[in-house]
Amino acid sequence: MTPTLLGIPWDASSSFQRGPALAPAAIRAALRSDSTNGWNEEPADARALLQDAGDLALPTDGPLPLEAITAGARALLETGAVPIFLGGDHAVTWPLVRAVRPRHERLTIFHLDAHPDLYDELDGRRDSHACPFARILEEGGANYLVQAGIRTLNAHQRDQARRFGVEMVTMRQGLEAMVTAARRLAGPVYLSVDLDALDPAFAPGLSHPEPGGLSTRELLTILQAIPKGRIVAADVVELNPMTDLRDLTARVAAKVIGEIVGRVG
């Protein structure tokens, strides 16, 4: 199965700062840049292995276009591709999982993030980028959710994690615990990488930078611990090119995608 990019240029669910709708183009530019040769650490030529299905045509405002995103993702899945979705804010994970879930009797989500994104609602929106995993688990969109890198857990989200039976590995628990969680993943796995899992020193192009996060090397180590062949779909979300410096975060996103390609086949 061929890893294939699909851009989801949506950020109207963002609670603070828009800009992630511009991320698919920035990530593609970084992937194609002559500053690197595109090989991952597997080693394999990730750039040569990747196909590109372009971007979905989405509105720029209003409620989250659930049906349009789900339909676009479903169409790509029907080709037999392993999709790597380029967000967009994290709200897009909800409709993307809706497309992936019917194809698998059991589905585990592995979610890397500073934030649990388990709010029941935020600012009156149930489709906020702070809510996708509450919506997914309410709908039975996954059998199991494993979250790693979390460092902003409040009382409400702690209650939500208990309610839904989420396995959570916080930053305070350390890299070894996160690597162990990744190694234990049973397939099929939907991987969701919010780039603010990284410390802002490594990823300045974020709408919600949260100090105390992963280094780029630590994030790659976690990804490389996922058993090969388990990932059936992935997303990389929350890059904000409007706050990026010298495209550094876009380049990190490109590196992350290369390592995801290495775990697919």
User: How would DSSP label each residue in 69-113?
Assistant: HHHHHHHHHTTT-EEEEEESSGGGHHHHHHHHGGG-SS-EEEEE-
* pLDDT tens track for 93-123: 999 999 999 999 999 999 999 999 999 999 9
When pLDDT is cut at 50, 70 and 90, the band that residue 143 belongs to is very high
Q: How many degrees, rounded to 5, is the angle at CA 226 between CA 255 and CA 251?
A: 10
Whole-number percent of the chain with pLDDT over 90 = 96
Whole-number pLDDT of residue 1:
77
Residue 257, pLDDT > 90, answer yes
Q: What is the mean pLDDT of residues 229-255?
A: 97
Tokens of 212: 């105390």
Mean pLDDT of the chain: 97
Token pair 């949260």 is found at 210
Which strands, in side-by-side order, build the sheet including 189-194? Answer: 51-55, 3-8, 82-87, 231-237, 189-194, 108-112, 144-150, 167-170
Whole-number pLDDT of residue 126:
94
Q: Domain containing 48: what range? A: 3-264
Contact between residue 201 and residue 136 where contact means Cβ atoms under 8 Å apart? no
When pLDDT is cut at 50, 70 and 90, the band that residue 15 belongs to is confident
Residue 187, pLDDT > 90, answer no
Number of domains the chain is built from = 1
* Distances from the Cα of 132 to the Cα of 120, 215, 223, 245, angstroms: 9, 25, 22, 28
Residue 92, pLDDT > 80, answer yes
Q: What is the mean pLDDT of residues 200-218?
A: 97
CB burial string 118-148: b at 16+ within 10 A, e below: bbbebeebebbbbbbbbbbbeeebbebbbbb
Whole-number percent of the chain with pLDDT over 70 = 100
Domain containing 64 — which CATH number? 3.40.800.10
Tokens of 92: 């897009």
* pLDDT tens track for 44-77: 999 999 999 999 999 999 999 999 999 999 999 9
Tokens of 249: 């975060």
- CA pair distance 261, 253, nearest whole angstrom: 12
